[in-house]
Structure 1
Amino acid sequence: MQPLIQPQLLATILSDKDLVLIDARTGPGVQQKYTQEHLQGALFVDLETDLAHKSGDAADGGRHPMPVINAFAELLGKLGITPQSHVVVYDDKNGANAAARFWWMLRAIGHKKVQVLDGGYTAALAAGVPVNSDQKVTIERPPYPHTIWQLPTATINEVAAAAQDSKRLVIDVREAARYRGETEPIDQVAGHIPGAVNIPFASTLAPDGFYHSPTELYEKYKQALGNRNPEDVIVHCGSGVTACHTILGLEQAGLGIPKLYVGSWSEWSRSGRPIATEV
C-alpha cells in the first residue's frame, strides 16, 4: 500500500467498514476545532498527549519523545484499530506534521494498511469530502498486538558518529534559515549538527501543497542518498515529528525507510555537543 491517499479516493471509501479515519490536526484550540468540524467519521488524536510522552526534560529524548509501546497499543485499541483496519490520517499541515508521525508510529508497531491524506484537511475540503461535528461512537478493541517498535531509530551517539562518516548520511529537514543558524523560533540554540545536510521538508511538496510525484521524489532524494542503504541514513527535524514527513516521502519514492532520530534538534541543542552555523 502506498503511504499516500488522494482526497478523491478517500471520498469513495468513507463507508468502508474497515476504514478508521484519524484527525491529527495540531495547534492552539485544536480540540475545539475538531469538535466544531472534522471530516465525516474522523476520530481525534493529540500529538502532545497521544503521540508523545513528555519527560519534562527535552535534553533527554527531545520535545516529542516516543510513548512506551504499550501505551500506544492501548490508544489504538481505544480507537478501534485492529490489524485489519485501513487507517487514513490527516492534519492541517499538508501531512507534514502529526499525520506523518502517526503514520510512522503505526508502521513502527507493525501495521501495514495506513495512509496519510495527501494535501491534508484543506485538500479534502476542496475535493468535497463531507464534514460534520458528529462524535463517532467507537467500538473499542483490545490493545493492538505488538512486540517492539519495528522501524529503526537512532540515538544521539549514533547520530554524532554518522554525521562524521562519509558512508552515512544525516538529513536535517528543518527550514534552511534554522539549519544555517540565522534563527531559532522554538529551541534554545540556533544551528545544526556538524556534518548533517539540509533538505527542508517543504521541498517534498509541490506548490499546490501535495507531495511531488514518486518519480520526482526519487530523483530529488537519490541525488543526496547516492548508493547508501536506508539503514545508513538518519533523518531528523526539530523534535522528531516533521522528520516523519520526509521519511514518508522517501518511502513514497521507493527508497525505503531510513532511521528516525526522535530527539532531533531539540535534544541535540541541549546536549552540550558541538553546533555548526553558517552565519
Structure 2
Amino acid sequence: MTMGGAWSSWVSAVEVADALGRDDLVVVDARFELAVKQAAPDVGEVAWRQTRIPGARYAHLDRDLSDRRKIEHGRHPWPDAADFTARLGAWGISPSSQVVAYDAAGGALAAARLWFLLRALGHSRVAVLDGGWQHWQALGLPVEAGEPAPVAPKAPYSGSFDPDLLLDAGQVQAHLDTGGLLVDARAPERFRGEVEPIDRVGGHVPGALNRPFAANLVDGMAKPADVLALEFETLLAGREPRELVAMCGSGVTACHHLLAMAHAGLPGARLFTGSWSGWIEDPARPVATGD
C-alpha cells in the first residue's frame, strides 16, 4: 500500500527490488528467532551477515528494538526515544527516508515492531516487506553475501514517541473498564493457557479477545486490504480503530495487528507495550484461562 507516493504498510518484494539503490531507501533486516533465543540470541544477525537484501542494515530485537535494562515492563520493554533515534541515525535513517523492514516470519518477528516504533515517532514512510525473506529468495531477487559494508551514519533522528499509542498495564485495565477492546495476537492455545512455552504463567488478561497474528496472512503473505478491513471492522463492532489495543506475549507480534489495520485503512490502534509478560509481573493482577 502506498500513501502519497510512500510505502506505509506492506510493500511487495518486486517494488523494493526495483527501488534498490534509491538514495532515500533504507532496508532493515530484523530476522530473529524467539524459539532459540536463550541458546542463540544472535542467530538472526549471523544469518544477516551471511546473506541479505543488498544494503540492508540489521536491527536486533533485544538490543535495538527493546530496552532490556528496564524491569517490570515485560520481556521486550519499549525503548526510550533517545536510544532508538540514535540507532536510526547509525543506520543512516533520517525523517525523509523510506524504510523497509523484513524478517523471516511474515513481519511478526520483528519487522512489524520496527514499523510501529517508527510510526509511533510519526514517521509514515515505513513499510514491511510482504512475504519477508523467504518470498524474496523464492522470487530469485538480488541478494548480497559476505561482510556488510559500513553505513554512513546520519545525525540522531529528532523525535519522540506519541504516548497515546502506548499503554501500560494500569492503562489497559482502565481501557477495559470503559468498554475498550483488547486483542491478543498469541496462538489460541497460549491464549487459553493450555501451553506456555515462554512465560511463567499461562492464560490471558480477563476481557481480552484472541485473534492470532497469523490470521493476517495467507501462505505467509498479507491478506488483501479489503479482506483485512472486513475482518477488523467485524472485530471492532462499531468502535473506532483507536479503541483497539493490541497485545501478545511481549509487545512484538502484537504490532502485526497494528500493521494489518493500517494496511486495511484503519490506522490509530494502540499497543500494550508490556503485553502478557508485563501483565503477570504483578501477581495480584487477574488471569483468565479458556476461551
Superposition TM-score, scaled by structure 2 size: 0.91
| AA in 2 matched with 1:255 | L
Q: Distance in 2 between matches of 1:56 and 1:189?
A: 20
Shift of 1:150: 6.0
Partner of 1:140: 153
Question: What secondary structure is seen at the aligned counterpart in 1 of 2:166?
Answer: coil
Shift of 1:110: 1.9
| AA in 2 matched with 1:157 | G
| AA in 2 matched with 1:152 | L
Shift of 1:34: 1.1
Q: Distance in 1 between matches of 2:238 and 2:163?
A: 24
Is the contact made by 1:163 and 1:193 (CA closer than 8 Å) also made in structure 2? Answer: no
Match of 2:127 among 115, 126, 140: 115
Q: Distance in 2 between matches of 1:169 and 1:233?
A: 5
Partner of 2:223: 212
Partner of 1:8: 14
Match of 1:96 among 108, 114, 121: 108
Question: What secondary structure is seen at the aligned counterpart in 2 of 1:163?
Answer: helix
Structure 1 position 50 matched with structure 2 position 64: yes
Q: Distance in 2 between matches of 1:201 and 1:235?
A: 10
Q: Distance in 1 between matches of 2:12 and 2:163?
A: 27
Partner of 1:235: 246
Is the contact made by 2:131 and 2:220 (CA closer than 8 Å) also made in structure 1? Answer: yes
Which structure 2 residues correspond to residues 251-270 of structure 1 after superposition, within 5 A? 251-270=262-281
Q: Distance in 1 between matches of 2:32 and 2:273?
A: 18
Question: What secondary structure is seen at the aligned counterpart in 1 of 2:75?
Answer: coil
Shift of 1:227: 1.5
| AA in 2 matched with 1:276 | A
Superposition TM-score, scaled by structure 1 size: 0.95
Shift of 1:151: 5.9
Shift of 1:256: 1.4
Is the contact made by 1:95 and 1:117 (CA closer than 8 Å) also made in structure 2? Answer: yes
Q: Distance in 1 between matches of 2:242 and 2:50?
A: 43
Partner of 1:169: 181
Is the contact made by 1:177 and 1:183 (CA closer than 8 Å) also made in structure 2? Answer: yes
Partner of 2:92: 80
Q: Distance in 1 between matches of 2:68 and 2:174?
A: 26
Question: What secondary structure is seen at the aligned counterpart in 2 of 1:97?
Answer: coil
Shift of 1:158: 1.7
Q: Distance in 1 between matches of 2:162 and 2:230?
A: 30
Partner of 1:35: 49
Give the RMSD, CA atoms, in angstroms: 1.4
Runs of 4+ in structure 1 deviating by more than 3 angstroms, as ranges, are 147-151
Shift of 1:30: 1.9
Is the contact made by 2:119 and 2:126 (CA closer than 8 Å) also made in structure 1? Answer: yes
Is the contact made by 1:69 and 1:149 (CA closer than 8 Å) also made in structure 2? Answer: no
Shift of 1:56: 5.8
Is the contact made by 2:70 and 2:77 (CA closer than 8 Å) also made in structure 1? Answer: no
The 10-residue stretch of structure 1 (236-245 or 267-276) with the greater mean CA deviation from structure 2: 267-276
Question: What secondary structure is seen at the aligned counterpart in 2 of 1:123?
Answer: helix
Q: Structure 1 residues 210 and 238 mapped into 2: Cα distance closer, same or farther (>3 Å)?
A: same
Q: Distance in 1 between matches of 2:129 and 2:163?
A: 23
Question: What secondary structure is seen at the aligned counterpart in 1 of 2:167?
Answer: coil
- Percent of residue pairs identical: 39
Is the contact made by 1:169 and 1:196 (CA closer than 8 Å) also made in structure 2? Answer: yes
Shift of 1:249: 0.3
Q: Distance in 2 between matches of 1:149 and 1:165?
A: 22
Number of matched residues? 275
Deviations 1:154-173 (A, max 9, x none): 1211211223433x101111
Question: What secondary structure is seen at the aligned counterpart in 1 of 2:170?
Answer: helix
Partner of 1:183: 195
Which runs of no fewer than 5 residues in structure 1 stay unpaired?
A: none
Is the contact made by 2:108 and 2:253 (CA closer than 8 Å) also made in structure 1? Answer: yes
